[in-house]
Amino acid sequence: MDILLRYVVKSFDRSTKVIDFHYPNELLQEYNWELADQPQNLEEILTHCQTTLKYAIKTGHPRYFNQLSTGLDMVGLAADWLTSTANTNMFTYEIAPVFVLLEYVTLKKMREIVGWPGGSGDGIFSPGGAISNMYAMLIARYKMFPEVKEKGMAAVPRLIAFTSEHSHFSLKKGAAALGIGTDSVILVKCDERGKMIPSDLERRIVEVKQKGFVPFLVSATAGTTVYGAFDPLLAVSDICKKYKIWMHVDAAWGGGLLMSQKHKWKLSGVERANSVTWNPHKMMGVPLQCSALLVREEGLMQSCNQMHASYLFQQDKHYDLSYDTGDKALQCGRHVDVFKLWLMWRAKGTTGFEAHIDKCLELAEYLYNIIKNRDGYEMVFDGKPQHTNVCFWYVPPSLRALEDNEERMRRLSKVAPVIKARMMEYGTTMVSYQPLGDKVNFFRMVISNPAATHQDIDFLIEEIERLGQDL
């Protein structure tokens, strides 16, 4: 307990390193991690815990900006500890009465916020956004061709899904797994801000229909992974309605903005979706994992996935069986992911989440305002960030005078990886970089930790310059 609490305190301490980096082979040799026949005593076990935490990344550190999920909420953490202690499974009311009810209450509230009348509809907490998106694809296919459940893809025409070129790779992963195939996922063009271009979507739908294929799903993104872009949901929904296609919104990253009066307009049109992925473990700071799939039509998840296993879902039990939600899922056992969100919501209130989100967005704008005109920075796209994603190149002095040609690009592409490697060696901060399309490696800054401050943003900039000026 003390070990854990000391770690939590350290996580919030800016004088502590974010990471004590070791190469994999070093770390394997640094300590004896092997499993043996004989038991070890309590003291040894506590040492293992300390060692594990020594080399862990402090994901709650205010200068850890590496992923979409950052921060460490104490109420969320306590709730996760309670969940571990209760150690149960979500499949039936019988063995998880409170958690099943809390899932019901929480999903209903989330659907209300999405804008479905009275919070009606269905949903489930799944192990991450990729699986939530796969569920959406599965349910959309079942809605159009229920026979696919028994007969498989051989019984249906060729199905085509549409998503933007900036969308999350889980759409392709899902299509591969579901037997649809990645070739049947069409990547619609984006504008320079990373938003799906509705006219290109329509053009591709028409093209596909002319070939005799069947468009069955459009997955629009609310908050893309790299640019933080919001697809124009209203325009997309008009097209989906016109061609009778299931509209999914992947708001894994952007869904949190629905909690903010100031920012929720960015998801206008989400209320017209047939399904929505929304990960409270990202922008809302809930501990990992907590991802919801919301579905507008009730009963569809159940009929799509149920197998009526009589040993688990007995039909002659003495309580209302509609609370046995397990047969909606692909999973049999399902981890309790709802309690940490529910308890945080109670502790912060909707207004607390709103303040958290507004603060993170304000910090992103602060960063944008500093670097947009600063020497040595180039923005990857113009204009104020819509989410907390700020994408930029740091151009070291040696490259600033060069002409904009291939040689410069080649050299620029090597800058971010070196700075990142140095950040990790020093352990002072962490931020992600990546190439995208024809754009070479750039930094993608994101902020989801409300513990971050203006000073941490200032620190990041100074650190990039300190570590990159000689390149």
Binding to a copy of itself in span 160-219, by CB under 8 A: 168-170, 172-184
Contact letters for a copy of itself, residues 419-448 (x by CB under 8 A)? -xx--x-----x-xxxxx----x--x----
Min CB(397)–a copy of itself separation in Å? 22
Angle of helix 454-468 relative to helix 338-371, nearest 10 degrees, comes to 60
Question: Which residue stretch of 243-251, 333-341, 369-377, 402-410 sits at the interface with a copy of itself (rule: CB under 8 A)?
Answer: 333-341
Whether a cis peptide bond, with omega within 30° of 0, leads into 469 is no
Min CB(93)–a copy of itself separation in Å? 6
Strands of 104-169 (E only): list them.
122-126, 159-164
Question: Which residue stretch of 189-197, 339-347, 359-367, 403-411 sits at the interface with a copy of itself (rule: CB under 8 A)?
Answer: 339-347
Position among 87, 210, 373, 405 found at the interface with a copy of itself (CB under 8 A): 87
Residue 40 within binding range of a copy of itself, rule CB under 8 A: yes
The pairing of strands 214-221 and 185-188 is: unpaired
Binding to a copy of itself in span 237-256, by CB under 8 A: none
Q: Return the ∠ at Cα 200 (arms to 194 and 206), rounded to 5°.
A: 150
Residue 466 within binding range of a copy of itself, rule CB under 8 A: no
User: Residue 81: which residues within 8 A CB-CB, separation 6 or more?
Assistant: none
Element containing residue 411 per DSSP (H, E): helix 406-413
Residue 311 within binding range of a copy of itself, rule CB under 8 A: yes
Residue 14 within binding range of a copy of itself, rule CB under 8 A: no
Measured from the CB atom, the residue of 119 and 453 that comes closer to a copy of itself is 119
Element containing residue 178 per DSSP (H, E): none
Residue 164: closest CA among 437, 417, 439: 437
- The single-letter DSSP state of residue 315 is T
Residue 152 within binding range of a copy of itself, rule CB under 8 A: yes
Per-residue DSSP letters for 321-368? GGG-GGGGSS-SS----HHHHHHHHHHHHHHHHHHHHHHHHHHHHHHH
Position among 9, 22, 298, 410 found at the interface with a copy of itself (CB under 8 A): 22
Measured from the CB atom, the residue of 166 and 195 that comes closer to a copy of itself is 166
Measured from the CB atom, the residue of 275 and 289 that comes closer to a copy of itself is 289
Position among 95, 206, 234, 402 found at the interface with a copy of itself (CB under 8 A): 95
Residue 470 within binding range of a copy of itself, rule CB under 8 A: no
Rg of the chain, C-alpha, whole Å: 24
Position among 218, 220, 226, 270 found at the interface with a copy of itself (CB under 8 A): 226
Residue 143 within binding range of a copy of itself, rule CB under 8 A: no
How far is residue 166's CA from residue 162's CA, in Å, rounded to a whole number? 12
Q: How many residues does the chain have?
A: 471
How far is residue 185's CA from residue 233's CA, in Å, rounded to a whole number? 19
Measured from the CB atom, the residue of 278 and 345 that comes closer to a copy of itself is 345
How far is residue 51's CA from residue 14's CA, in Å, rounded to a whole number? 21
Residue owning tokens 């009526």:
308
Residue 72 within binding range of a copy of itself, rule CB under 8 A: yes
Min CB(357)–a copy of itself separation in Å? 14
Position among 9, 84, 261, 410 found at the interface with a copy of itself (CB under 8 A): 84
Residues 257/387, Cβ–Cβ less than 8 Å: yes
First and final CA of the chain: distance in angstroms? 45
β partners of residue 188: 164
Contact letters for a copy of itself, residues 354-393 (x by CB under 8 A)? ----------------------------------------
How far is residue 216's CA from residue 376's CA, in Å, rounded to a whole number? 46
Position among 9, 13, 151, 299 found at the interface with a copy of itself (CB under 8 A): 151
Residue 44 within binding range of a copy of itself, rule CB under 8 A: yes
Question: Which residue stretch of 195-203, 359-367, 377-385, 417-425 sits at the interface with a copy of itself (rule: CB under 8 A)?
Answer: 417-425
Binding to a copy of itself in span 99-128, by CB under 8 A: 99-102, 105-106, 109, 127-128
Residues 267/236, Cβ–Cβ less than 8 Å: no
Question: Which residue stretch of 4-12, 202-210, 363-371, 458-466 sits at the interface with a copy of itself (rule: CB under 8 A)?
Answer: 4-12
Residue 153 within binding range of a copy of itself, rule CB under 8 A: yes
How far is residue 49's CA from residue 41's CA, in Å, rounded to a whole number? 13
For residue 398, how far is the Cα from the chain centroid? Answer: 37
Position among 9, 28, 206, 234 found at the interface with a copy of itself (CB under 8 A): 28
# chain residues binding a copy of itself, by CB under 8 A: 146
